[in-house]
Chain A
């Protein structure tokens, strides 16, 4: 048993290697996850952007944080999908009947989710640079942005784990991500919330995406972040903890 504990990190690494191979061998995953947000970015910048008043002269700068969140929200649908497929195919049963840490198989998917979303975030930022995104933020601010995005990914990943483990069909596994992809639209991601009717605005101002978007935007613009960063962190950590708790319960129940 000591042996199992000693090896659990390398086991997790093997699992990570396995699902990263899955990602690189099904390029459509990467394309779907990055192309849609990039198309959205093009649409908003070159079609709607001229008519949107944000108080920031560079609309790409304004838009980018929300686009990144949309990319992550659609990326984790694939985490749910991959997990669902593993449960279906019986490969999880093989892993669970082997002398390896029970959670290694699950953590492999969680790490894969973090790594693959990080890749799509980087790709989208590169495209944004071409489209005119500029930031003079110091490295610490970039690190803070990376940290927030990683926490956001982690929070949604645990939600994806719940969905992937409890889904009855492939479509069901990914369906939970639609409302998440939609959330940025009812936030300050595309337009300032001041322009919205009171009820919508109240929702927009108080949902997680707005504080996360605002915190990232301020960090990248080297402006004071104020409370937004703490609210953003509280949301991400809170959702992570609650979703982790439920995900582990489902995992225990499903794998006996």
Chain B
């Protein structure tokens, strides 16, 4: 059982008038990138909040890093880090101050070096001493994710990490997620974009109307779809290709 990072069975959750989760079962293995796909209002955030001890389920059980979220929330919190759907950064502090604050709250011995490293890694060194209120959306998101990496948590939750980012920003986040995963961190991310799940995830689950309707590797999911037909069509570049081509030279800065 030691290779299991998250184990959820029969999870149910309703709000006053709506039943959001109707019995969710899923398993995330240690070190993998797990993508939870779902439309607006599918309940992705609700599930992430339960797994990160911010909300309590009505029934069913959830174990994170081997600890039950209801019985041992403190131990769960010691094992995880959350980057919520909306950037949870302090606008009035500088980027550096935000990171230092988290490092202090995690009681890390070498917080200066850790913070400098993260600023470097997330390309925020130049902006480190500016107030976050002057940051662009992409920078804010990068800082947000950097804050979640302080203290090297075992499992990291990313709730729609690329929503609202431009294509370039999205690619940066993807690169970061892959790097993270290569260091052995388990990544649980939610997304509305099939393409994002395809790019990043070792395993993909689709949350629809309160349950997980499919769950598997990309190859397994592809088998569920009709086999590809060979057609000859002229491939037009997508707007995204064009955009990326134009700004491509900027990339090397």
B77 touching A91 by the CB < 8 A rule? no
CB distance from A11 to the nearest CB of B (A): 6
- A22 at the binding interface (Cβ < 8 Å): yes
A97 touching B105 by the CB < 8 A rule? no
Whole-angstrom CA separation of A26 from B131 in the bound complex: 12
- A227 at the binding interface (Cβ < 8 Å): no
- A7-B107, A98-B106, A99-B77 in contact; A93/B54 too (CB < 8 A)? yes
Binding site for B on A (CB under 8 A): 1, 3-4, 7, 10-11, 14, 18, 21-22, 25-26, 89-91, 93-100, 255-256
CB distance from B95 to the nearest CB of A (A): 14
Chain B residues lying within 8 Å of A100, measured Cβ to Cβ, are: 105
Chain B contact residues: helix, strand, loop or mixed: loop
Whole-angstrom CA separation of A26 from B54 in the bound complex: 30
A255 touching B107 by the CB < 8 A rule? no
B78 touching A26 by the CB < 8 A rule? no
B77 touching A98 by the CB < 8 A rule? yes
B81 touching A22 by the CB < 8 A rule? no
Among the interface residues B91, B92, B106, which one has the most CB atoms of the partner chain A within 10 A? B92
Whole-angstrom CA separation of A44 from B52 in the bound complex: 55
Question: In this complex, what residue of B is CB-closest to A85?
Answer: B91
Chain A residues lying within 8 Å of B77, measured Cβ to Cβ, are: 97-99
Interface 1/0s, chain B 97-130, versus A by CB < 8 A?
Answer: 1000110111100000000000000000000000
- B139 at the binding interface (Cβ < 8 Å): no
CB distance from A253 to the nearest CB of B (A): 12
Q: Which of B85, B89, B105 contacts A11 (CB 8 A)?
A: B105
- B202 at the binding interface (Cβ < 8 Å): no
Q: Which of B88, B104, B107 contacts A94 (CB 8 A)?
A: B88
B84 touching A21 by the CB < 8 A rule? no
Q: Which of B80, B87, B93 contacts A18 (CB 8 A)?
A: B93
B81 touching A89 by the CB < 8 A rule? no
Whole-angstrom CA separation of A96 from B89 in the bound complex: 14
Provide a sorted-by-A list of 26 A–B residue pairs whose CB atoms are within 8 angstroms.
A3-B107, A11-B105, A14-B104, A18-B90, A18-B93, A21-B92, A21-B93, A22-B92, A26-B92, A89-B88, A90-B85, A90-B86, A90-B88, A91-B89, A93-B49, A93-B88, A94-B147, A96-B53, A97-B54, A97-B82, A98-B77, A98-B81, A98-B102, A98-B106, A255-B54, A256-B54
- B179 at the binding interface (Cβ < 8 Å): no
CB distance from B198 to the nearest CB of A (A): 28
